[in-house]
A and B are shown apart, each in its own frame.
Chain A
Amino acid sequence: MERRSRENHALFLLIAGLLAWLIPGAGYFLLKEKKRAIIIFVTIMLTFCTGLYVGSIGIIDPVAAKPWYVAQIMNSPMVAILGHISSGGGFPVYGRANEVGHIYTGIAGLLNLLCIVNTVYLAHQQRVEWSRD
């Protein structure tokens, strides 16, 4: 019984984390933290889209800019689709637009990583409190 409860707990944390990665803020929505979810979704999407607007989708480059791509993919697995489109080299971007675009999209991804970790932590805390009650 206790083992099953522990497995369910781990599964819940995994779902919360995956949901938070799939759609920024969705993990908080699962935890019924709607205000937090909306703030995080809007802010991360705006930051990511600003980066894309400044640098074009050419800044998502899984081949030539791998370290940046690792940070960018933390926004959502859907970034991989953009990476697939731009990996052919059809969207060249250089100079300041390249730098700013990378910084904005990379920071948006790292902020979402912070939110994913926080979601999993909150999910754990909620479950522990429920089990106590």
Chain B
Amino acid sequence: MSVAAFVIATFTAPQELGTNPQSIFMLLPLTAAIAVIYKATKLPTITAGNFIKETATLFGSIVVFIAITALTLYALAWLITE
């Protein structure tokens, strides 16, 4: 099978993704993409150091906010059901 046929084949069949707790980590690449694009559109001038610092800060703050929200919802669910 040629390389091109192999590459095309990987896009014609879905991957196996389990519904396990680890699948939550699928949000990390998406969060990184959002942070990169947002900062690429908002920064007036792009320099490597500044761009990486700003993107990492935004990425971190989104992840921390999601974690806090998840913990709050988990605590609420625990309080209601216990």
Q: Which residues of B contact A (CB under 8 A)?
A: 10-19, 23, 26, 29-30, 33-34, 36-38, 40-41, 46, 51
Contact = CB atoms under 8 A, between A and B. Distances in A.
Interface of A: 35-36, 39-40, 43-44, 46-47, 50, 52-58, 91, 93-98, 100-101, 103-104, 107-108, 111, 114-115, 118
Contacts, number: 72
Majority SS at the chain B contact face? helix
B14 A98 contact: yes
Nearest to A55: B14
Given A57-B11, A103-B30, A43 B37 contact: yes
Contacts of B37: 40, 43-44, 111, 114-115
Contacts of B16: 97
A101 B14 contact: yes
B41 to A, nearest CB: 4
Given A58-B14, A97-B15, A97-B17, A50 B40 contact: no
Nearest to B32: A43
B33 A107 contact: yes
A54 B17 contact: yes
Contacts of A95: 17, 19
Contact of B30 (A35, A94, A96, A104): A104
